[in-house]
Structure 1
Amino acid sequence: MSDVVEAPAARACVLLAEDDPVSALFLAEALRSLGLDVDACDDGLLALARARVRRYDLLLLDCRLPGLGAQGILGTLAADATMASHGVPAIASSAEMTAAQEHALHAQGFARVLRKPMQVQDLEQALTAVLAGAAPLLDEAAALEASGDARTLEALRGLFQTELETLSTQFDTLLDDHAELRERLHRLRASCGFCGATPLSHACERLASADIADAATDPRVKTFRERLTGTLQALRERTAANA
């Protein structure tokens, strides 16, 4: 599918609410390095105001923000279904936290709780787990909007499945050629945009931006393999159902 016009592949956007300047800089840069857009603020009431009118893909909230902490923000959003970010998955972060406080955060509905300071790998693992559960492997509405109609979409997905089958057999070899891998991932993101494969698109972007030192342990490689396998299986099931 490399000869088609590239459809814009949506980047997941995170609302980052963090008042410590050092932590805010680290988290914002880490999120961007993982292929995410970031909307950052340093005040809880401002974070709530933004979440009220914009639907984010993820909320990353410090527990002790000025004005309103993570629990207050999530509680307000959960109580009002008219707010744009009602129901959006959230991760809480804190430098000081007892076991009881961590349990309370999980009980309230936070998908993950991260202790500061943290490593980029800790953040990556949390994002992978949370965003994987937030988006379907194949988004029908997004795919129809990008492709134009159901007949075109089915044709594109047939080509997309062939593309993924080929990549699946070549992926281990491509890990030894970073330039070629990045080029293939760039082309694959175009296909993802047309076919509604948003999680795979995000995994492509994160892997393309990575400097892979050890493919066997790099979480971005692991995530990409999982998204590739899952998306390919979903396409195979659709093909079998339509046969």
Structure 2
Amino acid sequence: MRSVLMEIGFVLAVAAGLGAGYVLCGIPTDWYAIDVAKLGKGAENDLIRYGRDLIVNTPRHIGKNAADPAMRFAGNDLACQSCHLNAGLQPFAAPFVSTFATFPMLVDDQVLTLTERINGCMRRSLNGKDLPAESREMEALIAYFKFVGKGTPEGCASPAWGSSRSRRQLSRLTQDAGRRSTPSFASPVTRRTAGVSRAETLRSAMPSHRSGGGELQRGRRHGQDRLCRRLYP
């Protein structure tokens, strides 16, 4: 009985902390309930709906077997929501609620735009090529991100994004890759001391892999971290 009560208390504490994070940063607490089906008619809303459809049915529109050969931008049959669950509205599954608000961001001392970030996923996670910056598909994706992120303050990430856990998993994966490698391969600690990033370490240990689903490209997210670290340590 005591263990059950402790588990219930833990869940309530997590929920309270998550809710406090939304309140402090001003993010709507019901963002995950957004429904594009409730949007009215109009070109702008059509673009938002198309953006969601691209995320859910990526292979059909821009996959390697898309009906229109000119639209075959992806190199596999993954969908955006293979990573960003429930069209980017699933808590702790890389939701899109704060995507529009956190770009452009500073990554490794360079400005990264939202268009560039999307194309990073196109090249890496989808193993394909860039969407043209002025294409309807790019405009639709950005319109959808803007819609689901309405009310999120500029520069703040959702406390339900889940990136801290992802970074820890990447760190463990990097260390495991180093331990499994040949003796001539320097350890992750040694390589980082020599100025080699964890991403480069992982690629050296697993050369057959491309840069690896968008996580490696996210870099250190300097600008966002400086703004939100005090809210979400």
TM-score, structure 2 as length reference: 0.27
Between structures 1 and 2, the one with greater strand share: 1
Between structures 1 and 2, the one with greater helix share: 1
